[in-house]
Amino acid sequence: MLSSRPWGWRADVRPFRRRARVLVTLSLVSSLFAYPSTSLAAVAPGTGHGATEGIDVDSGHYSSGDVDSTSSSNYQVELSFTFSVSSAGEILGGGSGSYTDAHWHLFGVNGDNGPFDCDPPIAAAPFSVEVSGHADGDMAHISLSMPDATETNADYNCGADYSGYATTSHIMSSSLSLVGGDDLTVSLGSPSSFTVQKQTQSGSGDDTENDEHIWSFSFTPPAALTTGTSESGGATSSGSTPGTCGLRLTNVLAKPSPAHPGQPVTVAFDVSSPAHASLFVQRSGGKGVTVAALNVPAGRDQLVWGGWSGKFPASSGQYELTIAAQGCGVTRAQAVALRVT
C-alpha cells in the first residue's frame, strides 16, 4: 500500500517532466562586438519583426510496485518581438510571449486503491522575450530566449490515495533551446518562415518519456520593411496597396494523415503574398477553435496543431482544419479534412 504521496521519495515528484528540471541556460550577452564588421549591404536602418509558435507534446509511462501511471501533456506558446541591426552588425531586441495552452493529464491504477484520473491545474503567466545576435553579410544569426517562461502546479490529488507535490518547471524555455532557438540563421534581405521539429526520448523499461518539439519561426528584417512595403492585414505586402496584390491561398495539406490523439499535426500551405495566417480546428458536429497564428512571408509556410482539444488529447473522429490567410485587404480560407484514429 502506498502512502498518500507516492512520489514524495523522488527528487522530482512529477513523474514525466524530468527533462525540464535542469535548465539549459542560454547565453544572451555573448561577445557581440567580437564579430568583425562585415558587408551589411542587406541591412537597412529600422526595426525588424518576428513571431514564433512553439509546441511541446509529452507522453510518458511509469510503473513501480502497485503503481502504474500514464501521463500526457501539451504546452504551447506564442512569441512576438522586434529587433534592430546596428551598423556594427549587433542585433538587439525583445518582446513578449504567452501560453496558449498548458494541460497535463495523469491517470492509472494505484494497487488495491483502484484507478485514479486527474488534470493537475497548470499556471503559466505571460513572459518576456529576449533577442540578441550578430549580422554576417546578408545573413543574421539570431538568439531567442524566454528565461522567465515558467509552468507551475500546486499539490494535487488524483484520487485512489494517489497524490503529488507542487512543482515548477521551464519546459518551453528548454524546448526552445533544444530546437536551436539560440542560434537561428535568417536572411536580412527578405522575410523568412520555417519550422523546426525534434523528438526526444528518455528513460527505459517501465519508466519512459517521449516528447515532440515543434517550433515555427517567422522573421521580417528591417530591409524588408523599408523597400516600398505596406502593412496589410497584419502582414507585410511588398510593393502593393491593399486589395491589389491578389492574395492566393493554395495547396493546404495536413500531415500525418490520419493523425493520432494527442499527437501534433502540421498544416502546410502556399500564399502568394505575405499574410497573417491562422489555423482553425473543428471536429465534425462540434465547436471550432483557433489553435495557431503567425505572420508568414510569401511561399510555402506551416502552422501546427498540438493534437489536443481542451484539456484532453483530441478524441477519434473526423476533423476539419482550416487555414485563413489575411493580407492585401482580403481574407482567403481553405480547409482540409483529417481523421484522428
Q: Could you give the C-alpha distances from 114 to 2, 79, 160, 177, in angstroms and in order?
A: 12, 42, 6, 40
Burial (CB < 10 A; 0-12, 13-18, 19+), residue 321, is buried
Residue 3 has pLDDT above 60, yes or no: no
pLDDT of residue 331: 92
Q: What is the pLDDT of residues 295-314, one digit of tens each?
A: 888 888 989 898 888 778 88
Cell 490523439, residue? 261
What CA–CA distance (Å, rounded) separates 71 from 114? 17
Mean pLDDT value across residues 89-105: 94
45 band by pLDDT with thresholds 50, 70 and 90: low
Q: What is the DSSP string of 282-339?
A: EETTS-EEEEEEEEE-SEEEEEEE-SEETTEEPPSEEEEEEEEEEETTEEEEEEEEEE
| CB distance 255 to 291 below 8 Å | no
Q: What are phi and psi of 286, to 5 degrees?
A: -115, -170
Domain assignments of the chain as residue spans, ordered by start: 1-227, 231-341
pLDDT of residue 44: 52
- What predicted TM-score, i.e. pTM, was given to this entire model? 0.74
pLDDT of residue 310: 78
292 band by pLDDT with thresholds 50, 70 and 90: confident
Instruction: Fill in the amino acid letter for 146.
Output: M
Percent of the chain predicted with pLDDT > 90: 59
Residue 229 has pLDDT above 50, yes or no: no
Residue 239 has pLDDT above 50, yes or no: no
What CA–CA distance (Å, rounded) separates 233 from 276? 6
Q: 231-341: which CATH topology? A: Immunoglobulin-like (2.60.40)
Query: CA torsion, points 246, 251, 252, 258, in degrees to nearest 10?
Result: 170
pLDDT of residue 259: 93
What CA–CA distance (Å, rounded) separates 165 from 179? 30
